[in-house]
Structure 1
Amino acid sequence: MDVVIRYLTGVTAAALLTACGSNEPEPESTLFDADGDVVSLGVTADADRVHVVWVERNSDDGVGAFHAISDDGGLEWTEPVAIDTDQPPPDRVHRSNDLRIAADGDRLLVVWQTVGDGFADSGPMVMARSDDGGAHWQPAATPVADDDTDSHGFFALSRAPDSAFHLAWLDSRDGQQGVHHARSDDGGRSWSAVTTANSATCQCCWNSLAHPGDETVLMYRGLDPRDMAVASMGNGDDDWSASEPVGRFDWFVDACPHVGGGLATDDNGALHALVWTGAEAHSGVHHLRRGSGGAWSEPEQLGRTAARAADLVATTDGGLLAAWDHGSADHGIGVAHYQDGAWSNPATLGGDARRPGFPLVTATDDTAQVFWTERREDGTRTWRATRLPPR
């Protein structure tokens, strides 16, 4: 694997972590030097390898998806490979409707939305797969009909412990936006029948997937109220459980906030969620925990009232890493670690970045990574990867 530095700027120790009383080593940060405007970002990790995919829009109005790999926890990256499969390019993608990637060794799967006949010309999903770790890409089957040009978006894409890929998305096949799911056992060559977890959801908030034990759990934003909710399905089942709220905030609003949440499973099989609500008495990002077969804990707020756009990942030390957008233009990205039932004091990354937002988190065998997009001096966006040291 050829690692290139010429595509990168700012590969230095970053004095950006400012937690009250923190004695942790400083993280290291890499700012990617994108050729165009990075409008969408997706990440995943598999063992010690980190994958990033992104969409660039260039001045000639060309749009393309790219993939790169890091084997050192996010500091050095391979030369980007264009995901060019002669399929429709990404369209209507943005930081609350990102392309997604999942990995199972050298088998990779990517999904994005393209133009079509849906609302505001939004269109169907497009999928690409690689069987050689991203060196070459080819078209992948999708779980919807080839002639379906309606809108499919706000994806969750995951790889379960049994190596199956799971995909969840929103579409309005039942006359109302709802959340749907399919599974692939052969790396994206074919898909199960589509199942519907809830036929009436919020219109445009991203979804999350997790796989505790023998379950697949899907988290999405409900319709009335606009609280986050989960539904689950056992391996081999065809039916979803009844939906249950994740935090009863009773947020009744006739609007879509364009904010989903994060979902992760710890070493004990407990399910953890990060959810955002705009309910006046509870506004902000909250953590909740559910043990096997149990009820959700009371919400615990993380960060400021203005915090939003959070992500969550399980780390190899048995804990969790959470990241969120502080919610104002240049105030950085909040992060906290969860260990032994308690959260660390929140810290801030990207304090010197221009408009950092929509963080994503991954974890490898001995480090964790926080990604976000930020503005450059010319107003275009690029992405940054920050490697957090072992705890």
Structure 2
Amino acid sequence: MTRVVVIGAGLAGLTLAQGLRKAGVDVRIYEKDAGMEARFQGYRIGLLDYGWSALRACLPEESYELAVATSGDLTGPGLLFDDQLRLLASGDEIGPPEDARVVDRHVFRHVLAGGLQDRIEYGKKLASFSETTAGVRAVFTDGTEVSGDVLVGADGGFSAVRRLLLPHVGFQTADLGGAMGRTQLTDQFRRLVHGRGTMVKGPGITLMLGRMEFRTPPGKLGLPPTDSYVRWVMLIPPDHPAGQPSDQPPPAIAVVRDLLRDWHPDIVDLIARADAHNSVIGFAQVLDQPVTGWDAERVTMLGDAAHLTLASGGNGANTALRDAETLCARLVGDGDLRAYQKEMLERGNAAVEFSKQNQKKFVPSSVSSSGSS
């Protein structure tokens, strides 16, 4: 394999590039964002054993150790409280699985990009690609072109590569909207989520809390300084004014504070002290049909570009990392993209279905609009 062109500098694309670079393959990454800091990257994600195994296979040792050093441990059972923080249950089924360790998406992306800076070009939005007798050529909206032996779509749920490969595959907006954000971790808030995760149930509303407490502060290791935090997520009742998609959603903190105003003071305080710049309301997008394959010989995809999962599955990033590991092995080995495609889609579509089924346990019952201001 002479050159691999990767579209997208997200978690899976960077992991693939690290594995190819380690194997001596010429790999170049083209990212539509203007830079690594161009937009908010999200919150903590739980990496399972197979996610860490994929990282160990692809990353150089120093990058893998850096990922471990900036991860967070999940110890103790998950907790279920009512809205006045009376304990209802404690058990392993609440929160991420026991073998998970959490990473912060923004910090983790910087870890994965380590050593690849001279191989990433930003501000490159894919316009088209074509297969040639010599390989594949990609054209960007700025008029520039690149060529390679294989092109990989690692450009996320709104993948330009998928749109060009499979223009008949569209989107559906999930029925439920979610408000999410983060609040700096303090002793007061650590008590709310000292296990693997916390679920707080009130009338018609479920609030989910997760702790991102870095083993080592990222700033001490040359990464973006980031405080440990509590990530919170609340599904918005469908009959609430903010429970429908909008081009201009209201501020997340205001919506959540209103809905939880009669909850325990520590919960109210957690939301009141949240980081306003990193708190949002959003509605998940899913593909309107599963991807079952494509005809291109030298173009493939991985991660959300091929199988867009809901966050409720807790498996999207892990599945994407395994895709990267599998594709890297194929590209370095026999180059059989058809075999990779079959394995990846079977695994990925199963992950999508699991995320849809798992969402049911988080769905709140309807509340009357009188609960809103």
TM-score, structure 1 normalization: 0.26
- Structure of greater Rg: 2
Determine which structure has the larger strand proportion and give its number.
1
Normalised by the length of structure 2, the TM-score is 0.26
